[in-house]
């Protein structure tokens, strides 16, 4: 049964077969067939896109999931958007459940804000709308000059907790660092549970300590400054010993975050929670990048289960680690596509959603 008006075309931009699964699920829910397109690599690694049906005057939705080769993924997306633009599509909406380079959304020393560059490239290629999910920082929406719908996966993860964890009432929501305390608080309030925060863990690459603005100068230099003006020296940061703020003894610990990639911090948090008396440990995250040796580390750790959504394909990781479970979010993506195509309000998808979700 077709649930949309005419003039809708859905493409999957990824050349990897495993990544086209999400596109197939969305198309089935909408009652349409996936558009015919060829995306492949030339011998010299150039990406070639050939659209094999007319898109003139139609609403085009391009679904792109991130594979291990992130840069190829981006080029596939950009070239397909540009191909649809030059083929006179009425509108081109990108569906990127995980926005690539979203971690590089702040200036670090002499680096660059790559998320801003990504937004500019997509808009320049011809994107007229973007659907994504749980941006690493919600301020990334401001990098675009087109509408951006940042959907949330929290309702699906909350549903998993309520249905798949029988004694979840004896659980406590854990933030593995003070930075993720707001997300943990949001989960805890919806489930009517307590909250715990791990403080004093080793700083990861995302921390502000990498930023030169928070590092005190080694010597007092006033050569280029007026003699009457002296910049005060900052006290160097010292990490306190690891502490858990909140009671986890005899409880189920549920660690929540938006991305799980390098699992070292999650494994360390799980060990700390075990030492404090937690008898079962779950990790809930929207995007399961799970790069490198992550599946093996999870399998050997104190973590009992890792729950992620299918914003990113991770079939191989699940074969390596049975602890990894998947929650399907194709329902909300297909409903967003249907509402945008039919000109309906999107507010229904954000009901009871707070800024911290």
What percent of the chain shows pLDDT beyond 90? 71
Residue 47 CB: number of other CB atoms within 10 A?
Answer: 20
Residue 297 CB: number of other CB atoms within 10 A?
Answer: 17
DSSP string, 17-30: GGGGHHHHHHHHHH
Average pLDDT of the segment spanning 25-54: 93
Structure tokens belonging to residue 179: 């930075």
Q: What is the pLDDT of residue 3?
A: 59
Instruction: Indicate if the pLDDT at residue 44 is higher than 80.
Output: yes
Report the chain's mean pLDDT, rounded to a whole number.
89
| Cα pseudo-dihedral 241, 242, 243, 244, rounded to 10 | 170
Q: What is the pLDDT of residue 334?
A: 96
Q: What is the pLDDT of residue 13?
A: 87
Instruction: Indicate if the pLDDT at residue 225 is higher than 70.
Output: no
Domains of the chain (ranges, CATH numbers)? 8-151 (3.40.50.2020), 155-200+241-327 (3.40.50.2020)
Q: What is the pLDDT of residue 68?
A: 82
Residue 90, CA atoms < 13 Å, CB-side half-sphere: 9
Q: What is the pLDDT of residue 1?
A: 44
Q: What is the pLDDT of residue 232?
A: 81
| Cα pseudo-dihedral 160, 165, 166, 172, rounded to 10 | -110
SS3 content of the chain, % helix, strand, coil (to 5): 35, 20, 45
Describe the strand order of the beta sheet including 129-133 as a list of residue ranges.
Answer: 8-12, 59-63, 91-96, 129-133, 148-151
Q: Which residue has the higher pLDDT, 16 or 146?
A: 146
Q: What is the pLDDT of residues 11-29, one digit of tens each?
A: 998 877 767 899 999 999 9
3-class SS at 244? strand
User: For residue 178, what is the DSSP state?
Assistant: G
CA–chain centroid gap for 159, Å, is: 19
What percent of the chain shows pLDDT beyond 70? 90
Q: Is-contact 198 175, C-beta < 8 A?
A: yes
Average pLDDT of the segment spanning 150-168: 95
Q: What is the pLDDT of residues 132-143, one digit of tens each?
A: 999 999 999 999
Q: What is the pLDDT of residue 336?
A: 97
Q: Which residue has the higher pLDDT, 43 or 241?
A: 43
Average pLDDT of the segment spanning 111-130: 96
Q: Which residue has the higher pLDDT, 17 or 333?
A: 333
Instruction: Indicate if the pLDDT at residue 2 is higher than 90.
Output: no
Instruction: Indicate if the pLDDT at residue 354 is higher than 90.
Output: no
| CB-neighbour burial class of residue 339 (10 A; exposed 0-12, middle 13-18, buried 19+) | middle
Instruction: Indicate if the pLDDT at residue 214 is higher than 50.
Output: yes
Helix residue ranges per DSSP H, the chain = 21-30, 70-86, 114-125, 154-164, 181-191, 264-275, 294-300, 315-320, 330-342
Q: What is the pLDDT of residue 190?
A: 93
Q: What is the pLDDT of residue 351?
A: 82
CA–chain centroid gap for 148, Å, is: 15
CA–chain centroid gap for 44, Å, is: 31
How far apart are alpha carbons 311 and 12 in whole angstroms?
13
Q: What is the pLDDT of residue 319?
A: 92
């Amino acid at each position: 049964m077709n649930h949309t008006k005419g003039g809708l075309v859905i493409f999957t931009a990824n050349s990897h077969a495993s990544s086209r699964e999400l596109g197939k699920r969305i198309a089935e829910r909408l009652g349409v067939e996936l558009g015919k397109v060829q995306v492949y690599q030339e011998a010299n690694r150039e990406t070639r896109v050939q659209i094999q049906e007319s898109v003139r005057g139609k609403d085009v939705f391009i679904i792109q999931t991130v594979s291990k080769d992130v840069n190829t993924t981006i080029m596939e997306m950009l070239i397909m958007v540009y191909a649809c633009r030059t083929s006179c599509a009425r509108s081109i909406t990108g569906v990127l459940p995980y926005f690539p380079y979203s971690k590089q959304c702040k200036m670090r020393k002499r680096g660059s804000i790559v998320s801003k560059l990504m937004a500019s490239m997509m808009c320049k290629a011809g994107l007229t709308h973007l659907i994504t999910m749980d941006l690493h920082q919600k301020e990334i929406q401001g990098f675009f000059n087109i509408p951006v719908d940042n959907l949330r996966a929290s309702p699906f993860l909350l549903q998993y907790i309520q249905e798949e964890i029988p004694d979840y009432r004896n659980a406590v929501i854990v933030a593995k660092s003070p930075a993720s305390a707001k997300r943990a608080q949001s989960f805890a309030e919806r489930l009517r549970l307590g909250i715990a925060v791990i403080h004093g863990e080793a700083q990861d690459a995302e921390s502000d300590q990498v930023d030169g603005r928070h590092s005190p100068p080694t010597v007092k230099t006033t050569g280029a400054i007026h003699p009457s003006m002296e910049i005060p020296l900052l006290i160097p940061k010292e990490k306190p010993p690891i502490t858990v703020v909140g009671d986890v003894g005899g409880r189920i610990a549920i660690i929540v975050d938006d991305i799980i990639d390098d699992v070292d911090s999650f494994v360390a948090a799980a060990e700390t929670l075990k030492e404090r008396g937690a008898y079962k440990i779950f990790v809930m995250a929207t995007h399961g990048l799970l790069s490198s040796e992550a599946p093996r580390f999870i399998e050997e750790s104190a973590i009992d289960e890792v729950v992620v959504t299918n914003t990113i394909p991770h079939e191989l990781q699940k074969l390596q680690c049975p602890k990894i479970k998947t929650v399907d979010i194709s329902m909300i993506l297909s409903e967003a596509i249907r509402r945008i195509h039919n000109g309906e309000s999107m507010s229904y998808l954000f009901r009871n959603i707070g800024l911290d979700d």
